Amino acid sequence: MFQRALRFGVALTSLLYLAGCATYGEGMNKTLQQVEKGSYQKANKSLESTLNPKGDDGLLYHLEFGTIHHLAGNYKKSNRHLEKAHSLADELRSKQASDYLAAAMVNPRETTYMGSDVERVYINYYKSLNYLMMAQLAEEEQVRDKHMESARVEIRRLDNTLSSMSFEKGNYKEVKDKEKETFAKLMDLFKKFQGNWLDEDWLVYREDAYARYMAGVLYEKSGDFDDARIAYQKAAELYGEGYTKQYELDSGMAERAWFDTIRMMRRGGGWEGEWQRFAEDHLSQQWRDRLDSYGDSGAQLMVVQHMGMIPQRKEMNLHLTANAETQSLELRPVLGGTEQQKEDQMSWFFLLYGDKGVMSMLDGFQENGLAGVHDSVTSKTVSLGPAWTIAENLRIPQAIGNEGIRVTVPYYSPLRTAANGSRLKVNGERVTEFKQAESLYQLVLQEQLLNAGSDLNGAMARATFKNTVAAEAGGALGGGMGRLLAKLVASGSSAAETRNWLTLPYGIRVARVSVEPGEHTVDITSLTNNGNQLAHKQRTVEVDKGEIKVVVERTMDPSQQRPHREGQEMKTASQESAPAQAMTE
């Protein structure tokens, strides 16, 4: 009977080892499919059965519901969920430090989800959009003013969040000043020889230029021209100093923000001489010409296009072994899933964990030529040296054993989409191209890259701790065979944190033009890399004199490749028989 149990345990754990645990995103598949189709009522019901508002996923419950209700035009319901999410995020952040050690010892997905800095910012972003939409729909001036005041409150809360982040993490100027120091350059050079190829200073999410720009739009729409000027200028400086480069955005956003900064200077008065200098320093002749011809009526149309959905975070398995002879630990990837997923996992391991140092490659070359070099960059070896004795006292090598243990970490695949640019037509006339103002994919990807080291350390500590406890418990029950079985089950339960706010868009594009007051037919066309139509949306928009009319569109991207859904194969853009229609927010 014991032998049968052992065989069952080994077989079960082997399957778990190869396949890994189901990620959070896979549990959301049905909901995400319904959101893509615009079936928001069905998406709500599906989400109710997937997430528990009182459980560890309570924050995600309110974040996802907030987005779905926003998409459906239920702006009040959306804000109720988002306000609950805001309160939860603050509450959880305040207790995060005290719960860190306890959380580190268990499966990360069995702990309370606390949210990220990106998600905190976008709670206020979506709340301000909801109030803006309600204000534009309101027929009574008093109601409209009330909603715009609420939108300003959200923008101020967002400003407080961003200012706190910038204070804690520094700004782009400080990073650039640090890079200028000779010694810092030498340190960065030698870090490359140690295998650390990531410049972590440039991965930190320290500010949000797009959120600052949208704050300027809302302030201007409310008539707060001085606050609008400050917000636009902050956005312009951020885009120019490093935000555009860090998140691979359109360079034109900095000039667009400077243009609006100067408009507010002229509109508010008291900046004579100053705005001319800003125009000379930051605007091309084409943009300077627009300052006087932007439209006497002051009517503007601004279209905000939210693209697709943010990619799902996945998990990959690593095999950790201990070598008593060399007194070192060795880590290798255990690839699973489709061929594409295996390739992505190998790339992630090489980027973040593989031994890329010259000496490691040289050792590999001396041992086994070119094959040895390949082995050196597809594994990670950490020599403990004198610390090996400490490791033995902590029973780390014993817990890992000769057969090794399983370690699980999160990773992202590259964003695969055929989507390229988008263009705006007003009354049949092509007026402008959309500018890529924000990449939430890059935001979450770089946040994951930055956290990869701590994720790995935590995963190894958890796996070792669980295996130590399991081996001791198994030994008490059944000697060596009991220890082995308990150890296998402990490794099989390994999992990584793959939860995040999945109904966010992967990118945000902006188009803004001066128009005459009145009714306009607006066409938004998104294109593929080869110029074919990816998605198209047409709507009629009424713009009053002096108004900034903000139109928000959610364009679902049929070419975006995500993990397999139930009963659904991934398709490339060329395999899609017809472009999907954009869905209105």
Tell how far CA 546 is from the center of its chain: 36
Note every long-range contact of 80-83, with CB atoms under 8 Å and residues 24 or more positions apart, other chains counting. 82/123, 82/126, 82/127, 82/130, 83/127
The number of CA neighbours under 13 Å toward the Cβ of 294 is: 22
Q: Are residues 262 and 321 in the same domain?
A: no
Q: Are residues 343 and 470 in the same domain?
A: yes
Tell how far CA 302 is from the center of its chain: 25
At 108, which amino acid appears? P
**pLDDT at site 11:** 42
Residues 340, 100: Cα–Cα separation, whole Å: 35
302 within a domain of the structure (yes/no): no
Q: Are residues 400 and 257 in the same domain?
A: no
Count other C-beta atoms under 10 Å from residue 122's C-beta. 26
- Give the strand pairing for 548-555 and 300-307: parallel
**For residue 405, what are its two tokens?**
């243990």
**pLDDT at site 170:** 65
459 within a domain of the structure (yes/no): yes
Count other C-beta atoms under 10 Å from residue 519's C-beta. 9
49 within a domain of the structure (yes/no): no
Q: Are residues 284 and 321 in the same domain?
A: no
- Digit-by-digit pLDDT tens for the chain (585 residues) are 444 444 444 444 444 444 444 556 677 889 999 999 999 999 999 999 999 999 889 999 999 999 999 999 999 999 999 999 999 998 887 765 555 555 556 677 778 898 999 999 999 999 999 999 999 999 999 999 999 999 999 999 999 988 888 777 666 565 555 545 544 444 443 443 344 445 566 778 889 999 999 999 999 999 999 999 999 999 999 999 999 999 999 999 999 999 999 999 998 888 988 999 999 999 999 999 988 877 656 799 999 999 999 999 999 999 989 988 888 888 899 999 999 999 999 989 988 887 765 445 445 544 555 444 455 567 888 788 888 888 888 778 887 877 888 889 999 999 999 999 999 999 999 999 999 999 999 999 999 988 888 888 888 887 877 777 665 554 544 555 445 444 545 555 678 889 999 999 999 999 999 999 999 999 999 999 999 999 999 999 999 999 999 999 999 999 887 654 433 433 333 333 233 333 333
87 CB contacts (<8 Å, ≥6 apart)? none
Give the domain extent around 404: 317-411+449-478
Using the 3D structure, point to which of 478, 497, 519 is the last residue of a domain. 478
Q: Are residues 284 and 328 in the same domain?
A: no
**pLDDT at site 209:** 96
Burial (0-12, 13-18, 19+ Cβ within 10 Å), 183: exposed
**pLDDT at site 258:** 97
The number of CA neighbours under 13 Å toward the Cβ of 95 is: 12
**pLDDT at site 361:** 45
Q: Are residues 331 and 459 in the same domain?
A: yes
Using the 3D structure, point to which of 259, 294, 329 is the last residue of a domain. 294
* 302 and 548 Cβ atoms separated by less than 8 Å: yes
Q: Are residues 247 and 372 in the same domain?
A: no
Q: Which value, to the nearest 10 degrees, does the dihedral of the CA atoms of residues 391, 394, 398, 402 take?
A: -30
Q: Are residues 286 and 334 in the same domain?
A: no
Q: Are residues 216 and 253 in the same domain?
A: yes
**Angstrom distances, CA of residue 546 to CA of 376, 543, 549, 555:** 64, 9, 9, 28
518 within a domain of the structure (yes/no): no
The model's pTM: 0.84
Task: For residue 240, give the CATH number of its domain.
Answer: 1.25.40
* 35 and 43 Cβ atoms separated by less than 8 Å: yes
71 within a domain of the structure (yes/no): no
Q: Are residues 370 and 466 in the same domain?
A: yes
Residues 245, 239: Cα–Cα separation, whole Å: 8
Using the 3D structure, point to which of 459, 478, 497 is the last residue of a domain. 478
185 within a domain of the structure (yes/no): no
Query: What DSSP character marks residue 434?
Result: -
Q: Are residues 399 and 350 in the same domain?
A: yes
251 within a domain of the structure (yes/no): yes
| Total tally of structural domains belonging to the chain | 2
Nearest to 491 by CA among 2, 17, 12: 17
349 within a domain of the structure (yes/no): yes
Q: Are residues 281 and 370 in the same domain?
A: no
